[in-house]
Amino acid sequence: MQELGRLEDLPEDYRAALTAQNLVPLWPSLRAVLPPGKPIPRTKPTCWPYQTLRPLLIQAGELTPIEKAERRVLVLANPGHGLEKMQASATIYLGMQLLLPGEWAPAHRHTPNAVRMIVEGEGAYTTVDGEKCLMCRGDLILTPTGLWHEHGHDGDKPVVWLDVLDLPMVYYMEASYVTEGKAQAVTPESADRAYQRGGVVPSPVFTRASQPYPMLRYPWVEVRAALQALAASQPDIEAVQVAYVNPETGADCQKILGFSALMLRPGERLALPARSSAMVFHQIEGCAAVSLDGHQFSLGEADTCCIPGYTPLTLSNSAADQPAFIFIADDAPLQKKLGVYEVRH
Ligand code: GTQ
């Protein structure tokens, strides 16, 4: 590839004249914005073990009352982007949130989409658009763009969950903002269970629901059972994986980030080809090794890691007697909509 002229090759007075007119020559920066063959990601493969994160999060509970935090969150920040950017990848934000017994995180709504993957504890709930969603380990709860949400906790031990937001993307678009609200009235007849049988959706008097986010809570017991049924009924299937979808349309459950759950059978090793989307892995149960060029992460329960796009990797479960269950988030839905998604075999 042809070497291009550098900024220093240009006379200083010419460069000053360009700057004065808010003009920039492209050629000194062309290879940086259009690198040959594949992107140069800022996102570094990064792992956040829960064992080291948890005590610091509990300490945040002692140091900062909920009223002074609104959301008591430690952000899982990728050093490749700079910690102050608070992003795990170009598009994905990850935060570990702590709610103590009796605490309340007040209602608000915002343009970025959020989901919560419950990590530990019992008795907490999040109310989304009037629907009270109980939080149990492994449950996925959606807080799509624009929906009111608040968190409460009636239990007696700390509750922790992983927040996954498309905040970096929405912030980059200069479209990120929040509106504060008052406590929501909980809808008496919750839609909570209306979408939890596969293949059937509510159809009151032959009409079909038209709201864009019909299902807000995906209980882990159901998702785990689906994975185990898939593994049992299709022993030769390449990957025991299910996607969290909108039950009315079958499309990804949110528009920017995609979510799935993967079961690695005992002893299973799964090679994933390079994809353009960055990925987050969160270990729900069991242990797994994530291997990629130059890196190996051992994920134990509740550990989380982030991998840049365009990176082939392998996932393996070395346990001989125990399946491993992994929650996966990526930005494939956004990339597919924009036409830039690719898989390299
Ligand atoms: O719980 O509403 O981690 O608004 C970041 C922003 C959590 C939340 C985050 C949020 C929330």
| CATH label of the domain that carries residue 84 | 2.60.120.10
Q: Is there an atom of ligand 1 within 6 Å of 97 CB?
A: yes
pLDDT digits (tens, 9 = 90+) for 127-137: 999 999 999 99
Domain limits for position 140: 10-183+216-344
Asked whether residue 207 carries a pLDDT value surpassing 80, the answer given is no
- 46-50, 135-139, 190-194: range with lowest mean pLDDT: 190-194
Radius of gyration of the chain (CA): 22
Ligand 1 atom with minimal separation from the 163 CA: 3
Complete edge-to-edge strand list for the sheet that includes strand 140-143:
73-75, 93-99, 159-165, 114-120, 140-143, 217-218
Q: Nearest-CA neighbor of 326 among 341, 310, 314, 308?
A: 314
Classify residue 318: in a domain, yes or no. yes
Asked whether residue 272 carries a pLDDT value surpassing 80, the answer given is yes
pLDDT band for 265, please (50, 70, 90 cuts): very high
Q: Is there an atom of ligand 1 within 6 Å of 73 CB?
A: yes
Give the distance (Å) from ligand 1 centre to CA of residue 167: 10
Classify residue 98: in a domain, yes or no. yes
pLDDT digits (tens, 9 = 90+) for 283-301: 999 999 999 999 999 999 9
Give the distance (Å) from ligand 1 centre to CA of residue 330: 18
pLDDT at residue 99 in the model: 98
- Residues paired with residue 217 on neighbouring β-strands, in sequence order: 141
Mean pLDDT of all residues belonging to the chain: 95
Q: Strand, helix or coil at 52? A: helix
Within 8 A by CB and 6+ apart from 219, the residues are 136, 139, 196
Q: Is there an atom of ligand 1 within 6 Å of 166 CB?
A: no
- 190-204, 223-237, 275-289, 303-317: range with lowest mean pLDDT: 190-204
Asked whether residue 46 carries a pLDDT value surpassing 80, the answer given is yes
Question: Which residue has a Cα nearest atom 11 of ligand 1?
Answer: 71
Ligand 1 atom with minimal separation from the 178 CA: 4
Q: Is there an atom of ligand 1 within 6 Å of 95 CB?
A: yes
Look up tokens 């998604």; give the residue: 341
* Length of the chain, in residues: 345
Classify residue 189: in a domain, yes or no. no
As for how many domains the chain has, the answer is 1
Classify residue 258: in a domain, yes or no. yes
Classify residue 125: in a domain, yes or no. yes
For residue 43, the 8-state DSSP code is: P
Q: pTM here? A: 0.96
Classify residue 188: in a domain, yes or no. no
Within 8 A by CB and 6+ apart from 305, the residues are 45, 46, 47, 48, 280, 281, 290, 297, 299
Q: Is there an atom of ligand 1 within 6 Å of 147 CB?
A: no
Cα 313 to Cα 30, 283, 306: the distances in Å are: 30, 16, 12
- Residues paired with residue 131 on neighbouring β-strands, in sequence order: 128
Give the tokens for residue 272: 């994933």
Classify residue 149: in a domain, yes or no. yes
Amino acid at the residue 280 = V
Classify residue 200: in a domain, yes or no. no
Give the distance (Å) from ligand 1 centre to CA of residue 20: 41
The angle subtended at Cα 52 by Cα 44 and Cα 57, nearest 5°, is: 100
Ligand 1 atom with minimal separation from the 73 CA: 3
Strand 313-316 and strand 288-292: the pairing is antiparallel
Percent helix, strand and coil across the chain, each to the nearest 5? 20, 30, 50
Ligand 1 atom with minimal separation from the 149 CA: 2
